[in-house]
Amino acid sequence: MKVLFIGGTGNLSTACTRRALAKNMEVFHLNRGTRQGRTPPGVTELRGDIRNPAEVGKALGGLRFDSVVQFLAFSPEHIEADMEMFQGITGQYVFISSASVYKRPSLHPVITEATPLENPYWDYAQLKIACEETLTRKGREKGFPYTIIRPSHTYDDGWILSQFVSVDFGVAWRMLSGLEVVAAGDGQSVWTVTHASDFAKGLVGLLGNPAALGEAFHITSDEFLTWNAILTMIGAALGVKPKIAHIPSEFIMRVLPHRGVGLLGDKGHSCIFDNSKIRRFVPGFRPEIHFAEGIRRSIDWYNARPELKVPNQTLNAEFDKLLDCWNKALALAETLKA
């Protein structure tokens, strides 16, 4: 089995690479080579910028694949360019979409692949929906062999999860500094976080599977936790009790609209995923890494790299502004009440 990962050294694609190699697949990466040292032995590296079709055509040099997995498509134009590039040279094209495509606010907290796609808040999700529509429509017209994957909040080493920023040490730094971290609403909405190595088991299980063509899947953990629990577990792994400030998503939308869209359009809602479809197609699929273990691994990863345990100054400024506005609003409510 010959598989090409567009990306390959990213948060999701690194775990997928490890899994594909463990399954004896012949793995190729196509990326620009900016993350030296992250490519495991056994991978064939192709160099190119995916936004430059001429460069990619040259890098591919007449190769053919059983599966191409596109981790880097964010607009219908990206999908159209890929269809041009990969039609006829792959048996399967896997588009990494997002679970944020599912209707928000959710009609029901339990999501299946039949849940309608609609996100009136978040342009990222709207564009992923447009990608899926383009792929489905044009894919059927042209006989392009696509599969759609919708990851939900999926992390690996180096990620500290929150409803705001997850990709750096910023939230952990605030907890260790005794500063408040924000949870939307009352922090009791239920959320699903997935370790990338569990996601990889589902994704790699679908590669080269003809039954997966024309199908869409989410692949998530079966563990669901409130945001209060997620933040408390991060604190526990750091050895601190976090100070959690609860602020309604609508209020956050007023003060920090670019963060509000990710709450009203995703992480401010309860989401529990019914994974029976992926289990049907990949019978051995069983997520194994509980969050308590996954977050401990990520913090161990940081402890081995103390130079990365730094504040996120943008997040700090945003939280300071948000907390200041919220405290003023609470004080105003007190005066109005009187």
Task: Confirm or reject binding of residue 13 to ligand NAP (CB under 6 A).
Answer: yes
> Of 8, 139, 185, 187, which one interacts with ligand NAP (CB under 6 A)?
8
Q: Is 71 in the site for ligand NAP (CB under 6 A)?
A: yes
The yes or no reply on residue 178 touching ligand NAP (CB under 6 A) is no
> By CB under 6 A, is residue 217 in contact with ligand NAP?
no
**Binding flag, residue 50, ligand NAP (CB under 6 A):** yes
Distance of closest approach, residue 328 Cβ to ligand NAP, in angstroms: 33
298 binds ligand NAP, rule: CB under 6 A: no
Q: Any contact of residue 151 with ligand NAP (CB under 6 A)?
A: yes
68 has which bridge partners? 4, 93
| Piece of the chain touching ligand NAP by CB under 6 A; list 108-116, 149-157, 224-232, 250-258 | 149-157
**Number of residues binding to ligand NAP, judged by CB under 6 A:** 22
Residue of minimal CB distance from ligand NAP? Answer: 10
Instruction: Provide the mask over 224-263, with x wherever binding to ligand NAP is found by CB under 6 A and - wherever it is not.
Output: ----------------------------------------
- Specify the residue, 96 or 225, whose C-beta has the smaller distance to ligand NAP: 96
Site for ligand NAP in 28-47 (CB under 6 A): 31-35
Nearer to ligand NAP, 149 or 172 (CB): 149
Q: Per rule CB under 6 A, is residue 134 in the interface with ligand NAP?
A: no
Q: How many whole angstroms separate alpha carbon 107 and alpha carbon 184?
A: 19
154 makes contact with ligand NAP (CB under 6 A): yes
Interaction between residue 127 and ligand NAP (CB under 6 A)? no
Q: Characterize the bridge pairing of strands 26-31 and 272-273.
A: unpaired
Residues 295 and 195: beta-carbon distance below 8 Å: no
Calculate the CA dihedral of residues 124, 85, 216, 98 and round it to 10 degrees.
-20
Q: Nearest distance from residue 100's CB to ligand NAP, in Å? A: 7
Which residue of 49, 123, 250, 288 would you call a contact of ligand NAP, by CB under 6 A? Answer: 49
Tokens encoding 55: 């460069």
328 near ligand NAP, judged by CB under 6 A: no
According to the binding rule CB under 6 A, does residue 192 interact with ligand NAP? no
Q: How far is the CB of 297 from ligand NAP (least distance, A)?
A: 16
Of residues 180 and 206, the one with the C-beta less far from ligand NAP = 206
| Among positions 22, 40, 42, 51, the unique one binding ligand NAP when judged by CB under 6 A | 51
Can you give the three-state secondary structure of the chain, one letter per residue? CEEEEECCCCHHHHHHHHHHHHCCCEEEEEECCCCCCCCCCCCEEEECCCCCHHHHHHHHCCCCECEEEECCCCCHHHHHHHHHHHCCCECCEEEECCHHHECCCCCCCEECCCCCECCCCCHHHHHHHHHHHHHHHHHHHHCCCEEEEEECCEECCCCCCCCCCCCCCHHHHHHHCCCEEEEECCCCCEEECEEHHHHHHHHHHHCCCHHHCCCEEEECCCCEEEHHHHHHHHHHHHCCCCEEEEECHHHHHHHCHHHHHHHHHHHCCCCEECCHHHHHHCCCCCCCCCHHHHHHHHHHHHHCCHHHCCCCHHHHHHHHHHHHHHHHHHHHHHHHHC
- Residues 86-125, interacting with ligand NAP (CB under 6 A): 96, 98
Out of 4, 9, 238, 315, the residue judged to bind ligand NAP by CB under 6 A = 9
Cα gap 201→285, rounded to integer Å: 6
Q: Which residues bind ligand NAP (CB under 6 A)?
A: 7-13, 31-35, 49-51, 71-72, 96, 98, 151, 153-154
